Structure 1
Amino acid sequence: MTRRGLLLILSSPSGAGKSTLSRMLMEWDPTMRFSVSATTRPPRPGETDGREYYFRSRDDFQSMVAAGDMLEHAEVFGNLYGSPRGPVEAAMKAGRDTVFDIDWQGGQQIKQSMRDDVVSIFILPPSIAELERRLRGRGQDSDEVIAGRMAKSRDEISHWAEYDFVLVNTDLDATFEDLKTIVQGQRLRRDRQPALSEFVRGLNEEFAAR
């Protein structure tokens, strides 16, 4: 029975684990797809249109927004970013789930656009000290950048109650098991399986024929 695909929104403060968990989800189920954003920034060396991003001019991007072809969009450091509607809806009709690694603002916009198909999950760190330790453990950012990420984390965490599910990422493997349980349960919901009505009708016809 074909089911309708899910829109899985994963959000967290930087360093809490959403990107790692997103990758683990798609390794667990290769039929899942990661939402590819559109952007007005120019491609960097090695980037390909449709793989890292859909690269669009500002006029084209704004036309998509005006036509309702973006599920969510925002301006960051002078460039526009957004999630095109078309590829997501095509995946849903094919029964494929789409994973969004986005912040709470983008998540809210997608919920407003496609509320019945969204499952939102917020990932919390076990403590603020551990969050900072993880950020420093990457060895990629200066003290100034880390301080900025930590300051932003407080605002992001304040939106935890707006999500359907909240996981505390104390242990990555255990958190991933909980995440899989959420996905499997949501896939089995009656309203996610439009073919069930026809299937039950067939069962009733079998009863009538006995």
Structure 2
Amino acid sequence: MSPSTPPADRPLRADARQNVEQILQVAQDVFADLGYQASIAEVARRSGLGMGTIYRHFPNKTALVERIAIKVMQESLDQVRGALAEEPATWPAFTRVMRHMVHLRSSQLFPVSRGRAKEAGAELAEIRTQLLGALEDLVTRTQRAGALRDDVNAFDIVMMLNSIPPRLPETGDGSPTTDLADRYIGVLLDGLRAPGSEPLSQPAPGRREIDQFFRTVHGL
């Protein structure tokens, strides 16, 4: 059984399906806010569900994290494809995807398990490959239109998205959570727009470097 799938193969009852959807949404918010050091207990607290209910659907934290990553990467893949099909110019398509991925916290939603003994499940590996391919297509088209500087690639974009921090954690006094994503993505997009005034001194990363990054930093 893949760690990314719930333990039962039979169709879920309506109430169980609702629980799974609630767990995934709350866990996505928890991990976006606090990173993957956040505990399952925090997911249970925010969702109002018991620990037993969560573990009934996701036998361990790795299973829950992988399922969220699959969900987020699929949403990001759909966004790339939709932007390329719907936007009349490539720069609006590019900025639409970048803002979407930042607000989904795609930069934070890659499985984290430093002591991981097994490779990521096949479903996760496949959707990640598809997403990287779609991002490469988006970058290439935007560069051909002369809108994106030509000395960056899709792997640069992934690394840059990982540099944008999560939302600042709640203070506990009822104050609204500070979210600086819009501010930082604005700076990032300005630096990516062609022609670019600052020469880049290092070669762009490739798939090998990206795989090494996620393997060593995120355990993926």
Q: State whether TM-score is above 0.5.
A: no
The TM-score range, normalised by the shorter chain, is under 0.3
Q: Which has the higher helix share?
A: 2
Larger Rg: 1
For normalisation by structure 1, the TM-score amounts to 0.25
Higher relative CO (CA 8 A, sep ≥ 6), structure 1 or 2? Answer: 1
Is the strand fraction higher in 1 or 2? 1
